[in-house]
Structure 1
Amino acid sequence: MKSIYEQALGDTYQLLHPKLQERYRLTGDAVFTGAGRMEEISGGSFAVRAMMVLGIRARLFFPERGRNIPFVIHNKVSRDAKGQETVHWDRTFDFRGKKRHFDAVMKWDSEEEQILDLFGKPALLGSSLSLHVDDKGAMHISSRSQWLPLFGMRIPLPRVFHGAAQIVESYDEERQCFRIRVHVRNPLFGTLFAYKGSFTGTRKDGSGGSRDET
């Protein structure tokens, strides 16, 4: 069975760096666990960061910023109430022992043929995603429409309230690691937050076997 990322990219999935192809082949019982450091976590005015405090309990936003921050990512696959595969993205940042989270789940929308990204636990924000592969084999992910998921409905957010995300994940052959850049921007407030860094990881399949992705 193809992962939701293979479905979104179609034939261009084969243009991804081989390490990224393995990394994003998340289907069935596959699990990916990675660890590394964020060189820098930045962005957001004092007022914006004060509001992000409200997102801590929902594992959605956090106000802390810094450099050389330990980072862990955990991806696993489950099925929702409709039996569709859902990919979990659990990200943890360690600010000197104070752990902050940025969690989401992604699923494939077969009607609109796109990936949907639901942020927080429980989900408090939804976004559709656009994916493409660049000429160096890196994965580019950007947000499109955004909404509030309420009672099974999507309440559209005006663009002025969007947190437009741009993510680039690549593989560094020289350092043998994944590299990640994330930038989230709002039309009114500018950059809400951004981070960049690197990590190594291991993918395990349903048979209990593992594969070092570094």
Structure 2
Amino acid sequence: MTRSPYELTTPPEVLARLHPRLRTYFGAVPPGHVGRGEGVFAVVGTPRRWLWPLLALFARDAVMFPVWERQVPFTVENRAARVRRGPGTGREARPAVRAHRTFHFRSGTRTMVDAITAGPDGLVDNLGRRGRVSALLRAEVDATGPDAGALRLVSTRVTFRALGRDRRLPAVVSPRVTLVERFDDEADRQRVSLVLSAPVLGTLYRYEGAFRYEIVPDAGPRRGR
């Protein structure tokens, strides 16, 4: 893969506004290499325990987890991949970056899995090991202001696969994902913030933290369960 899904779906003038250190993270992972990062999440999950039974269902597919913890050590591993979404074998495999984010919770180690792909309508995040839930994302990079140089991804459509078909959730009930990745020059760390929210209910799930990231030769996977 010579270009990443971000480079294939985002206008060059938008990517040009990225902080130079973020261009490595959102660029292509070279053959024979892997992107690895290590840091700490200040918070992960939700304090709204009535949501935990639902989150436990998503946890089975490595999407979200029924937790609310602070100061959670984590690692991230990004690998170039190709993803074929949908039934059958006739669909073209699309360029992707598959990410494994491993959280070291007090209750044990858990890994969140997703694959960012270059879809026909733009950037798509396929969530979980099986990718049954996906979100179409809009990429934004501010040229000025407090988030200048940061990449902000905002979901514009959420679909789920059931009975062999992709079904789009109506806007009035569809959750919204907002992800911000920025580089902190003073701390020499990349900072990430993700918020999953829903109409009326507000914030359902979130995580935020900081980490260091580099592209290294691939010596094999180092992942949690």
The aligned residue for residue 62 of structure 1 is 65
Question: Structure 2 residue aligned with 1:85, among 95, 99, 102?
Answer: 95
The aligned residue for residue 131 of structure 2 is 123
| TM-score, normalisation: structure 1 | 0.87
- In the TM superposition, residue 84 of structure 1 has moved relative to its aligned partner by 2.3
Tell me the distance in 1 between the aligned counterparts of 2:44 and 2:124: 25
Q: Letter of the aligned partner of 1:124 in structure 2?
A: R
SS in 1 for 2:8: helix
Q: Letter of the aligned partner of 1:8 in structure 2?
A: T
SS in 2 for 1:159: coil
Tell me the distance in 1 between the aligned counterparts of 2:154 and 2:34: 23
Does structure 1 retain, via aligned residues, the 8 Å contact 2:62–2:111?
yes
Tell me the distance in 2 between the aligned counterparts of 1:65 and 1:138: 26
- In the TM superposition, residue 42 of structure 1 has moved relative to its aligned partner by 4.3
List aligned pairs for 1:129-208, cutoff 5 A: 129-135=137-143, 136-150=148-162, 153-204=165-216
List aligned pairs for 1:21-100, cutoff 5 A: 21-29=23-31, 30-43=33-46, 45-81=48-84, 82-96=92-106, 98-100=108-110
Unaligned 5+ segments in structure 1 are 209-214
Tell me the distance in 2 between the aligned counterparts of 1:50 and 1:187: 20
Tell me the distance in 1 between the aligned counterparts of 2:80 and 2:116: 10
- In the TM superposition, residue 79 of structure 1 has moved relative to its aligned partner by 1.9
| TM-score, normalisation: structure 2 | 0.83
What are the superposed Cα offsets for residues 107-127 of structure 1, whole Å, 9 maximum, x if unpaired?
1123x2x11111111122111
Does structure 1 retain, via aligned residues, the 8 Å contact 2:160–2:166?
yes
Q: Letter of the aligned partner of 2:38 in structure 1?
A: A
The aligned residue for residue 211 of structure 1 is none
Unaligned 5+ segments in structure 2 are 85-91, 220-225
The CA RMSD over aligned residues, in Å, is 2.0
Count of paired positions: 205
Tell me the distance in 2 between the aligned counterparts of 1:85 and 1:152: 22
Does structure 1 retain, via aligned residues, the 8 Å contact 2:45–2:65?
no
SS in 2 for 1:175: coil
Cα 1:142–1:44 shift into 2, 3 Å:
farther
The aligned residue for residue 15 of structure 1 is 17
What are the superposed Cα offsets for residues 147-171 of structure 1, whole Å, 9 maximum, x if unpaired?
1124653111123442211111011
